[in-house]
Amino acid sequence: MKIKITGNASDACKELLKKHISKRIDASFEVGGLEIRLATDEALGKPESYSIAGDGDMWTVTGSDEKGLYYGIGKLLHSAVWTEDEFFPKPTDGVISPDCDFRCIYFSVHAFNWYFMAPTEDLEEYLEEMILYGYNALHTIVPVFNIHQLDDDVFKESVKKNRAIFAAAKKVGLKTVFGVNPNQGLLSAPHEFDADLSYDTSDVGRYRGWAGRNLCPNKPGATEYLRNIWLKCLEQFTDIGIDYVITWPYDEGGCGCEKCAPWGAGGFDKLSRLLAQDVRELYPAAKFIYSTWTFDVPGDQKEYSTLYKRLEAGEMDYVDYLMTDAHGAYPKFVLEHPLVRPIVSFPEISMWGLFPWGGYGANPLPKRFEEIWDSAKGVLSGGDPYSEGLYEDISKIQFIGYFWNKNARYKDILREYASYEFGEDVADDAVRIMELIEVNHVGVYAAQQRCLENGGPAKEGDPISPDMPAAQEAYDLVMAADSRMSELRKNSWRWRILYIRTVLDYKRYKAFFDRGMRQCYEDFHILRHDDEENQVLKNDAGAQALYQELRDIYHCLDHDNGRNKWTLPVVQGACHIK
């Protein structure tokens, strides 16, 4: 296909468009044919806005600024209809502006997950794709919870990866966001600083998370020790710049001693004030985000109410944003009280309902996420989905769709994604597959919870789970779609992780029915929690090959299976999760 790219845009924008066209079709950019004019024009209006106009062989993508032009290029690519050797752009309905100003994606570079293990160039490529889908900020951490010393290899590698992706983000105008768990000590921290872990009194245990070494800031010397850690981390990026810093209360974090409790209104507030002072010294223009992750869980511990009273009284002027969210439904306190600061969400797209979280492939939950988003969108100024790797790619795109249009529907967001990534002729089937995966993902979890509530096996009349007709339909759809896709698309990692999840689900659920499910807590636990001893498909060679393929996609070597029990699939005959 002959394409001519013109306009007043930077060479970087023009090369970006050429690159992503060339990834899909054989294109020549020296001579005419289809002309695409890339331009910036401040008169377009709100920052980060864009428009696409034209027909036939003449199209114009205009951004209100360079970032807006990046997003316009992304929309041009994603909304077009692609064939094997051509593509046909679509116009926008006027100027498109984002509903939410804070559109961040969290690359959790830790614990030997994909972000930690992937080559830096892969991280940069994935970041570029997130920009084209509409994100404007990148959040990372230095993983104190699995670092022994501030000069060990894990610390050095994490800093190296973070610096590379922060530099790549800055190059294209993205904001950088750095997270700090202010009472998280190194694994080698003196035990006389240890926190009282009684802050998590939930029946399910460790609801808030006890990873790493949580320390008590009220023990002599502990605050100075903790401050040295976060300063060492923050100082790694002074030459690149940090635009936002997030202070984080739980998982990791927390102390339940008398002087710290309740943590969100006690010890956490004390440390966060010190952290904010240090941030202002190092990064005077940085915004400070105060997270309330799992505040008042379980029950009302006065964490939210105390925080809001302090904010309303003007005692916390250092706080620019609140980040409020939890594992399940959106916190009611935030929805029922007037806004005291701009609020952003922290969608938990990685860890809900399965273990290992990425051990089966893609984990779309479109209906669940839409319900949570709709419940809170009226108070939100954006969000920061939490990602452990590639397996939640579909959900990343679902949430950026909401951040641009609060009233968007997942079917429209994911259909455009599927059309671009998998092909127009399989797009509807791909969205249906995502919905069917969710039926059993949610259903098996709910069935296990019913057994827990019943104190034994499922009661007569409870819905049978898993839903084999749903698994069968998804399996038939994925096989049919795979048979008619181009080699380029069917071999892409995005299709493979969706394909693998569909096939493994079908095989796992069928194996359970074939051997006679008892409809009890333990059986549902095995369907949700894969391990070496109980893996349903350990004798299925085809399934084991798919598990191994996932490990290859995740850049995981055999010895790393023992170091990351959270996101990696168990593979029989290899080095197993310990």
Q: pLDDT tens digit string along 126-141?
A: 999 999 999 999 999 9
Tell me the C-alpha distance between 13 and 67, whole Å. 10
In three-state secondary structure terms, 326 is coil
Q: How confident is the model at residue 205 (pLDDT cuts 50, 70, 90)?
A: low
Lowest mean pLDDT among 98-102, 315-319, 489-493, 535-539: 535-539
- CB environment 538-566: b (16+ within 10 A), e (fewer): bebeebbebbbbbbebbbbeeebbebbbb
Strand bridging mode 175-180 / 184-185: unpaired
Given a cut of 90, whether residue 188 has pLDDT beyond it is: yes
Mean local confidence (pLDDT), 335-363: 94
Spell out the long-range contacts of 528-534 with Cβ–Cβ below 8 A and sequence spacing 24 or more.
528/353, 528/354, 528/355, 528/444, 528/445, 528/448, 529/354, 529/355, 530/355, 530/356, 530/359, 530/360, 530/569, 530/570, 531/570, 531/577, 532/570, 532/572, 532/576, 532/577
pLDDT tens, position by position, 442-492: 999 998 888 888 877 777 777 778 899 999 999 999 999 999 999 999 999
Tokens linked to 510: 């069928």
- CB environment 321-344: b (16+ within 10 A), e (fewer): bbbbbbeeebbebbeeeeebbbbb
Tokens linked to 549: 């393929």
Given a cut of 80, whether residue 10 has pLDDT beyond it is: yes
pLDDT at position 210 = 73
Tokens linked to 242: 């940090």
pLDDT at position 13 = 95
Strand bridging mode 380-383 / 102-107: parallel
Tell me the C-alpha distance between 249 and 67, whole Å. 33
Among the listed residues 119, 151, 297, the one whose alpha carbon sits nearest the alpha carbon of residue 228: 151
Cα torsion 485, 489, 493, 495 to 10°: value is -40
pLDDT at position 203 = 57
Q: When comparing pLDDT for 293 and 451, which is higher?
A: 293
The pTM for the full model equals: 0.96
Tell me the C-alpha distance between 514 and 505, whole Å. 14
pLDDT at position 201 = 62
Among the listed residues 176, 140, 170, the one whose alpha carbon sits nearest the alpha carbon of residue 158: 140
pLDDT at position 212 = 85
Average of per-residue pLDDT values in the chain:
92
Give Cα 331 distance to the centre of its chain. 19
pLDDT at position 449 = 86
Tell me the C-alpha distance between 4 and 18, whole Å. 10
Task: For the chain, give the percent of residues with pLDDT over 90.
Answer: 77
CB–CB of 223/271 below 8 Å?
yes
Can you say whether residue 16 is alpha, beta or left, with left for phi > 0 and alpha for psi between -120 and 50 degrees? alpha
pLDDT at position 197 = 86
pLDDT at position 243 = 98
Tell me the C-alpha distance between 137 and 175, whole Å. 4
* Helices 120-133 + 66-79 axis angle, to 10: 90
Given a cut of 60, whether residue 576 has pLDDT beyond it is: no
pLDDT tens, position by position, 54-113: 999 999 999 999 999 999 999 999 999 999 999 999 999 999 999 999 999 999 988 888
